[in-house]
Structure 1
Amino acid sequence: MNDELYSGKDILVTGGLGFIGSNLVKRLVALDANVTVVDSLLPLYGGNAFNLHGLESSVKINISDVRDSHAMAYLIKDKDYLFNLAGQTSHLDSMTDPRTDLDINAAAQLSILEACRQHNPAVKIVFASTRQLYGKPEYLPVDEAHPIKPVDVNGINKLAGEWYHILYNNVYGIKACALRLTNTYGPGMRVKDARQTFLGIWLRRLIEGKPISVFGDGLQLRDFNYVDDVVDALLLAASAEEAEGQVFNLGSEEVVNLQQVAEMMTQLQPGSSYEIVPFPPERKAIDIGDYYSDFNKIKQVLGWSPKVDLQQGLAASLDYYRQHHGKYWDDL
């Protein structure tokens, strides 16, 4: 990727105070882009003002909701790129409050695309989708041709949001693509609870000196991506004409089971431990079993592959929260 590509460009990042969004914003600022952030900072979601601490004078931060179609129509004008990362990510919350999930992950996405069509059809969009829409794998590794069978409301609505982007690319010529993210982790992730990813609450429990709870038998296979590698993928996708209209899996060649991850993490925190516990019924109902991605498409088309291994990434994440836990949960 040509690092000079983003210099001086006007870029909108939805969910820019969230985990992946804030890490992307930091990289874009380093590349001399003019960045506008949109984030609702609603307490149940991933936004945290501390994620952009020290950059407040370098970016425009707009506390707004992607469901506000008038605000989005105004903010999208004259932007060169839109990194569309705002979303409701909790699978459990999507089952208990499906309408809110629909509003954020599907209806708001359609409104954003309509704003682009009417006010800025030249914008280039990268949408953050999810591997959750595949559901329980019929084969492994899962490639982009795998059947789509979501196991929860979140997966259905994220699929709708993704396909709206591809439809607007194909019908209206609005340059858009989607990345189906797997388990992304790193500094800035939500760690106060398990709403964003189980690794978050595991990190918190390590720092609090409490055992990690591994659900089931601990043998479920997963792949993980450190956030810096995901930012690389987002920037590559935005920069490449070959990405337009395409959907790409992210993933890793490092496939591990959850018990191995727990062992790895406890080794990084002397005196810590983990326990194997039964699945809570509400989680068992939407568990997908083993999952890991085939990411050969993005590797071949865009030249992306992850660089940070799990041991490195977990160590960096743990170091970050040892220093800054007071900014991410408030009962220590």
Structure 2
Amino acid sequence: MTDFQGKPVLVTGGLGLLGSAIARHLVHAGARVTIVDSLEPLFGGNRNNIASIENQVEVHIGDIGDTDLMARLVRGKTHIFELAAQISHMDSMHNPQRDLAINCAGTLGLLELCRRLAPEIRVVFASTRQIYGTPQYLPVDEQHRLRPPDINGIHKVAAEDYHRLYNEVYGLRSTTLRLTNIYGPGMRVRDARQTFVGLWFKLLIEGRPISIFGDGQQRRDFTYVDDCAEAFLAAAGDAHVGATYNLGGDGPVSLTELARRMMAANGGGEVAHIPFPADRKAIDIGDYWADDSAFRGASDWLPRTSLDKGLQSTLAFYRQHLPAYL
């Protein structure tokens, strides 16, 4: 594991679900953490996510496209965890230019600043399993073809290639993790803009039925947020420079089985099966779960939180804190 003691580290998107978890783990590892987040209302940032470490981190509210701000924040840093992104697949289809500005231009601008101002910096970049599209085989490994079903996935492929190019041509030391369904305390729950799982937690707590599109037999894997944060810190090791890895978790389970487990953790609930909306069906990838054996073998990382334990922890969190996330 990388020694972060006393290291100045930047987390972009650091008020979101995963960014804030990474920030907490870095603080506990002794790092000097700076967070930047736009707090864009349609994204996942929430200041409540850093309540336990607020006095131990430096927070800047701003966009990664702000070159002057990002130049000041990049200088002197040893590591960047690059989480700032537009991650809604549907929003990317409705507003592709905005997705392009954030997920491509934002990434490219950050890499340029690193090249010019901090060429020795270590970068870990968050990508997505959506870049694979509908799987040709399961589980999906890193050699699977890339055929994104939506604008967001296309832009994430481009962002990955920016990282690859800057690593190969300029020697900028980066690693990419392709993520699946991340869940846990601090996730967006007010709607299904980023993930349906967050909305399901809200509906359960409010005593309303969970809505499942179609028959609910699609199988997915799920990664608890703290397990994912530990993977990012592990990926910052020098042995992973230039590598791209899948990251999975506990699963696979069908969405119907996930709903059953959530209701069991909640002590009750209902499911309503509804027709698949045409716009969502067009970009749905069906079954997906990751083969992340390459990363597990290279890093000794293993997810430590079972799905049932993670669901219980998340429900307990929102029973106490739901109003702050509505």
- Bin the TM-score by the shorter chain: over 0.9
Deviation at 1:305, TM superposition (A): 1.9
What CA RMSD, in Å, does the superposition of the two structures yield over aligned residues? 0.9
The aligned counterpart of 2:312 is 315
Structure 2 CA distance for aligned equivalents of residues 184 and 304 of structure 1: 16
DSSP 3-state at the match of 2:159: helix
The aligned counterpart of 2:272 is 275
The aligned counterpart of 1:260 is 257
CA contact (8 A) 2:25 2:230 kept: no
Deviation at 1:275, TM superposition (A): 1.7
Count of residue pairs brought into register by the alignment: 326
Deviation at 1:306, TM superposition (A): 1.2
The aligned counterpart of 1:251 is 248
CA contact (8 A) 2:35 2:59 kept: yes
Structure 1 CA distance for aligned equivalents of residues 300 and 161 of structure 2: 24
Deviation at 1:270, TM superposition (A): 2.5
- CA shift digits 1:80-136 (9 cap, x unpaired): 100000000100000000000000001110000000000000000000000000000
**4+ aligned runs moved over 2 Å, structure 1:** none
DSSP 3-state at the match of 1:254: strand
CA contact (8 A) 1:266 1:274 kept: no
Deviation at 1:328, TM superposition (A): 0.2
The aligned counterpart of 1:289 is 286
The aligned counterpart of 1:32 is 30
**Does residue 68 of structure 1 match 2:91?**
no
DSSP 3-state at the match of 1:57: helix
Deviation at 1:20, TM superposition (A): 0.2
CA contact (8 A) 1:193 1:200 kept: yes
DSSP 3-state at the match of 1:6: coil
CA contact (8 A) 1:254 1:309 kept: no
CA contact (8 A) 1:191 1:328 kept: yes
Partner AA of 1:244 in structure 2: V
* Map 1:170-319 → 2, pairs under 5 A: 170-238=168-236, 240-252=237-249, 254-319=251-316
- CA shift digits 1:26-50 (9 cap, x unpaired): 1111112100000000100010011
Match of 1:50 among 48, 51, 67: 48
Deviation at 1:284, TM superposition (A): 0.5
Match of 1:115 among 90, 113, 116: 113
TM-score by length of 2: 0.98
Structure 1 CA distance for aligned equivalents of residues 300 and 103 of structure 2: 29
Structure 1 CA distance for aligned equivalents of residues 239 and 165 of structure 2: 16
Partner AA of 2:318 in structure 1: Y
Deviation at 1:253, TM superposition (A): 5.3
Structure 1 CA distance for aligned equivalents of residues 53 and 296 of structure 2: 32
Structure 1 CA distance for aligned equivalents of residues 167 and 238 of structure 2: 12
Match of 1:151 among 137, 149, 152: 149
The aligned counterpart of 2:98 is 100
DSSP 3-state at the match of 1:60: strand
Partner AA of 2:166 in structure 1: Y
Structure 1 CA distance for aligned equivalents of residues 85 and 39 of structure 2: 12
Identity level (%): 51
- CA shift digits 1:217-256 (9 cap, x unpaired): 1100100000111011100001x22211110000135211
CA contact (8 A) 2:8 2:33 kept: yes
CA contact (8 A) 2:248 2:290 kept: yes
- CA shift digits 1:68-87 (9 cap, x unpaired): 12211111001010000000
- CA shift digits 1:261-285 (9 cap, x unpaired): 0000111223311122111111111
CA contact (8 A) 1:125 1:176 kept: yes
**Does residue 22 of structure 1 match 2:36?**
no
Deviation at 1:165, TM superposition (A): 1.0
Unaligned runs of 5+ in 2: none
Structure 2 CA distance for aligned equivalents of residues 326 and 291 of structure 1: 32
DSSP 3-state at the match of 1:231: helix
Which deviates the most, 137-146 or 163-172?
A: 163-172
TM-score by length of 1: 0.97
DSSP 3-state at the match of 2:54: coil
CA contact (8 A) 2:12 2:19 kept: yes
The aligned counterpart of 2:4 is 6
CA contact (8 A) 1:219 1:258 kept: yes
DSSP 3-state at the match of 2:200: helix
Partner AA of 2:150 in structure 1: D
